[in-house]
Amino acid sequence: MKHSWQAERGVVAVEMSIVLLLGVVLLAVVVLMGRLTWHVVAMQKAVSSAGRIVGSLSFETLTTENVDGDITGLAANHIRAATRSAGLDIQPGEIEVDCVTTGAGGCGRTSVTHISISAYMRFRDTIFSPELTGQMFPESDLDVTYFQIYVP
């Protein structure tokens, strides 16, 4: 049986365009998931480092009245500096510091047992066009919390 090469003309071009499109989409997924992982790891390291810094503060500092704002500012400055130095293009929004006590109240009490630091970031695609990837890769919320035992 004779095979006509004229009947299959252009099939390779169609197959290549389909495979190329799938390859580009797969590459975009890998790049965005890599960026998401990079942001999560950088946030975890920054928050845990801030937790260790706040956990190493003296007992007198943690039991001072109205110290909540000072401790939150210290932790927020450290977390933002750490995420900037990690090269993150999206910075954390809300940062909260809470002193867990055996009684009522938070930081500024004499019974601090744990320190909790939470940071929030809204991750979005900043590499590709949001019009192209907005439906495929919606914004994600990253919440990182770190607990540090405080032993005065």
How many whole angstroms separate alpha carbon 100 and alpha carbon 80? 23
pLDDT recorded at residue 17: 93
| Angle at CA of residue 37, ends 77 and 117, nearest 5° | 35
- Looking at the predicted structure, is the pLDDT value of residue 72 above 90? no
What is the token pair recorded at 87? 């090269």
Q: How confident is the model at residue 18 (pLDDT cuts 50, 70, 90)?
A: very high
- Mean pLDDT in residue range 38-67: 85
pLDDT recorded at residue 16: 92
- Mean pLDDT in residue range 24-36: 86
Domain boundaries, the chain: 5-149
- Looking at the predicted structure, is the pLDDT value of residue 6 above 80? no
80-110 confidence digits (pLDDT tens):
999 999 888 888 888 888 877 766 666 666 6
151 backbone dihedrals φ, ψ, rounded to 5°: -120, 110
How many whole angstroms separate alpha carbon 18 and alpha carbon 15? 5
- Looking at the predicted structure, is the pLDDT value of residue 148 above 80? yes
Bridge partner residues of 114 (DSSP): 100, 149
